[in-house]
Structure 1
Amino acid sequence: MSTVVQRVASRRELGSIMDLGAGQGYLSRTLAFQHKLHVLAVDGSEVQTCGAKWFDQRALRSRPSDGELNHVTDMVTPENVSTLLARWSKQQEDEKWLVCGLHACGDLSSLMLRLFIKSNAITSLVNVGCCYHFLTEEHQPRNNESPSSSIPAGFPLSGFVKDQLDYRMGSIAHMLACQTPSRWSDKQEETLKSFEHHFFRALLQYIMVEKGLAHVDKPPIIGRLNKKKDFVSFPVYVQAALKRLQMPQDAISIEEAEAYYAEFKTTRQMDKQIAILWTVRALLAPLLESIVLADRWLYLKEQLADIPDSETKGVWMWPLFDPITSPRNMVIVASK
């Protein structure tokens, strides 16, 4: 990733890089200390920024560098990005920047594309997205209804997908777009465990609906549980889930959980049916991810259409990483 950023910056004669959503600063350090670029690492979390600075000091003790790296905790928007970049520019005025992000989560990738389009100071973009399940989706208005929020959503971005196709994915499709069936053969043990976890989740919801603890149209939101200690057995999982949902531990007793598990796994073999269903759903992942990526590519092409053609202007997209090692492996590069 750092090599791509360095080459794009070099060909566009850019020396200043904004790493948006920099986190612990792994990409930022490589760009500054190895490629000797002027890097502004921006993250919305002070904890991440402090951690990145600590890693910087360790790296510099072992290998001093001529590169320049500054860390900032801020929430960047199209309205404040020019002020932020001007504050950290090396030149007096009109300095041009490249914005980049490695595995930028959810709407952060969409924001990055908007910043590139709307800011005169940003002339190049290198982005690898991630976490499509965190994408917000624009409300699909009916008749003369207006969109419910003035905050731009992360999907869809392009006029073609949003207006001409009138297409929306929905939260389930966004979540499925994150699945990686290509890794199943490489990580068979983890895959089998994940199938069991899906069975646990489905069986718990069935029990809760049957006992009147939840409604079939409104699944309980449990969130992330500890994979090592909370999935030891179905009764253990049930107790952990009830605690997370702030329900009494006896709402579903251990004996009830064991009885349901025995009936639906041993007698009915519902776990196998859920595994088949989940497999079919997950096989749609590459298609759904392609829709998100194509929407971003189309958005950039549409927005750059009115800019005069030049040797540097363009939008490109290609696989950058080994998909087994890094399933989110598509990089989008754009220049004005």
Structure 2
Amino acid sequence: MPGISARGLSHEGRRQLAVNLTRVLALHRSILDAYIIEFFTDNLWDTLPCSWQEALDGLNPPQLATMLLGMPGEGEVVRYRSVWPLTLLALKSTACALAFTRTPGFQTASEFLENPSQSSRLTAPFRKHVRPKKQHEIRRLGELVKKLSDFTGCTQVVDVGSGQGHLSRFMALGLGLMVKSIEGDQRLVERAQRLDQELLQALEKEEKRNPQVVQTSPRHSPHHVVRWVDPTALCEELLLPLENPCQGRARLLLTGLHACGDLSVALLRHFSCCPEVVALASVGCCYMKLSDPGGYPLSQWVAGLPGYELPYRLREGACHALEEYAERLQKAGPGLRTHCYRAALETVIRRARPELRRPGVQGIPRVHELKIEEYVQRGLQRVGLDPQLPLNLAALRAHQAQENRVVAFFSLALLLAPLVETLILLDRLLYLQEQGFHAELLPIFSPELSPRNLVLVATKMPLGQALSILETEDS
């Protein structure tokens, strides 16, 4: 999906973008606030302008991917079957123009051409126990952190919210960085330590088989710490150096790969408040878990704009994977009917228990193979209701006939979702700039593999030409 590069914007340009985003989001708040499972109970289709209904009604999923989301299939030409209203065309153009681009400045597909489950850019020991998505992420972010560390003269990298330590292991044992790994879940830390030892043994075996790749410098496994990082307070453990620096205080680089909710905010605050933290490379996610207030807004500029508020539903929508859904639309598989089925189930639940609204429904396997009444019966059982409740089959069939409308409404919300993510990340950029720091947003992952692919890079010295180096692929 096309978009705007944060790099091409001045400080004033970023401020104006925030103004434009808040205006557009306020204008279309009703679409973003809606829950797709309430499509029938709240009659969401009729909340759209009549001219929009006429333009979208009857479009099949591939047409929605092409005409609305702007992602045509290979060799496909966009052909509108009717003249769309200017307001809908303006929404489509605005959504593309105001969202930060998630398209990296490099080709990523070749990494998995030979084997879709194994990155050709990582050696076998670093791929073990790591899914393709994570292989791509740890390699790309690890390489960026290594370059940023060299550029800023960091003595230690701190990986916050490190999970099973895949990124920490690659940075320490693959790139030779001194790494402290901080994770709040003891079980994940124990798992990470076992994987460290397994990787060390695999690397030693590889060296014996291939003497020409013998490691010339000593390896340092990540230093794992079990610690919950409080987003509202400084974490002393995070700031402690692993070794006494030869000259002066330690110079730390903080990183987090999809640091969840407030954890991303905690990284920003440590960078801002602590002189020993000289660089930051953070990829956020789970925006709906941000504290309100506290996690957003951070900048004075965004906090002063009318309509800046982003309630839970909007932040949750910003975590959807637009590229992945567009691909599903292109394939037009039966799995797309899930939203329609769940919305139909909601009507039955409300009829039986009016006070029970939007209950979580445990995953129902192979939905696409079920008749709608079979899905509803299983869904009723999962929310503690009698699966043998009498059903209005005619009403359910009528709901099922509107499947494409449900998909179209969800696609509209998905078109707007990147604007919410852009505003959240833009707020973080402005927060850092307001304090005199240097910050940029770079798309470093393939969005098809990793939808949350924008890394926030910040330093306390001008980045200059280093930005171009950070974005490039290593050979």
Bin of the TM-score, shorter chain as denominator length: 0.7 to 0.9
Amino acid at match of 1:228: P
1:261 equivalent in structure 2? 396
Deviation string for 1:279-327 (max 9, x for gaps)? 111111221211111111111112x22xxxxxxx511111111111211
Number of aligned pairs?
303
Cα separation, 2, equivalents of 1:31 and 1:195: 39
Give the counterpart of 1:321 among 429, 442, 445. 445
CA distance in 1, matches of 2:330, 2:393: 24
Structure 1 CA distance, aligned partners of 2:335 and 2:409?
Answer: 13
Residues 84 and 279 (structure 1), Cα distance of their counterparts in 2 relative to 1, 3 Å cut:
closer
For 2:412, the equivalent position in structure 1 comes to 280
- Residue 178 of structure 1 deviates from its aligned partner by 1.7
Question: SS at 1:63's partner residue?
Answer: helix
Matches within 5 A, 1:46-195: 46-64=186-204, 66-77=219-230, 79-86=233-240, 88-91=241-244, 94-138=249-293, 152=294, 154-165=295-306, 167-188=308-329, 192-193=333-334, 195=336
2:167 aligned with 1:24: no
Instruction: Give the aligned partner of residue 206 of structure 1.
Output: 347
Deviation at 1:194, TM superposition (A): 5.2
What amino acid is the match of 1:175?
E
Shift of 1:210: 2.5
Structure 2 CA distance, aligned partners of 1:82 and 1:164?
Answer: 35
Once residues 56 and 84 of structure 1 are traced to their aligned partners in structure 2, the CA distance between those partners, rounded to angstroms, is 20
From 220, 226, 235, the equivalent of 2:363 is: 226
Contact 1:17 1:100 in 2 (8 A): yes
Q: Which amino acid aligns with 1:5?
A: V
Structure 2 unaligned segments of length 5 or more: list them: 1-140, 205-217, 461-475
In structure 1, distance between residues paired with 2:425 and 2:404: 33
Q: Residues of 1 paired with 2:359 and 2:254: CA distance?
A: 35
Q: Give the structure 1 partner of residue 457 of structure 2.
A: 333
- What secondary structure sits across from 2:222 in the alignment? strand
Q: Offset at 1:262?
A: 2.5
**What is the CA–CA distance in structure 2 between the aligned matches of 1:291 and 1:219, rounded to whole Å?**
30
Give the corresponding residue for 1:294.
Answer: 426
CA distance change for structure 1 residues 44 and 257 in 2, over 3 Å: closer, same or farther? farther
Distance in 1 (CA, whole Å) between partners of 2:452 and 2:409 is 23
Alpha-carbon displacement from aligned partner over 1:180-224 (angstroms, at most 9, x marks no partner): 33334434488745531211221122222223x134xx732305x
Q: TM-score, normalised by structure 1?
A: 0.81
**Residues 18 and 201 of structure 1: CA distance in aligned 2, closer, same or farther (over 3 Å):** same
The runs of 5 or more residues in structure 1 that have no matched partner are: 139-151, 306-312
SS in 2 for 1:279: helix
Distance 1:270 1:137 in 2: 36
Higher strand share: 1
- Between the two structures, name the one with larger relative contact order (CA 8 Å, sep ≥ 6): 2
Q: Which residue identity does 1:199 align to in structure 2?
A: C
SS of residue in 1 equivalent to 2:146: helix
SS of structure 1 residue aligned to 2:349: helix
Give, in whole Å, the separation in 1 of the partners of 2:457 and 2:302: 20
- Match among 144, 148, 154 for residue 14 of structure 1: 154
Aligned to 2:132: none
Per the alignment, in what secondary structure is the counterpart of residue 169 of structure 1? coil
1:21 is displaced (CA, Å) by 0.9
CA 1:58–1:68 in structure 2 vs 1: closer, same or farther (change >3 Å)?
Answer: closer
- Tell me the distance in 1 between the aligned counterparts of 2:227 and 2:379: 35
Contact 1:183–1:324 (CA under 8 A) maintained in structure 2: yes
Change in Cα spacing, 1:26 to 1:136, as seen in structure 2 (3 Å) is same
Contact 2:160 2:256 in 1 (8 A): yes
Q: What is the percent sequence identity of the aligned residues?
A: 28
Distance verdict in 2 for CA 1:80–1:106, change over 3 Å? closer
- Report which stretch shifted further, 160-169 or 44-53: 160-169
Offset of residue 232 of structure 1: 4.8
Q: Deviations over 1:251-303 (max 9, x none)?
A: x52652755432421xxx2222211111111111221211111111111112x
Find the counterpart in structure 2 of residue 35 from structure 1. Answer: 175
Instruction: Say what the alpha-carbon RMSD is for the aligned residues.
Output: 2.6
C-alpha contact 2:158 2:238 (8 A) present in aligned 1: no
Per-residue Cα deviation, 1:76-112 (whole angstroms, up to 9, x for no partner): 13634224432x5311773221110112222221221
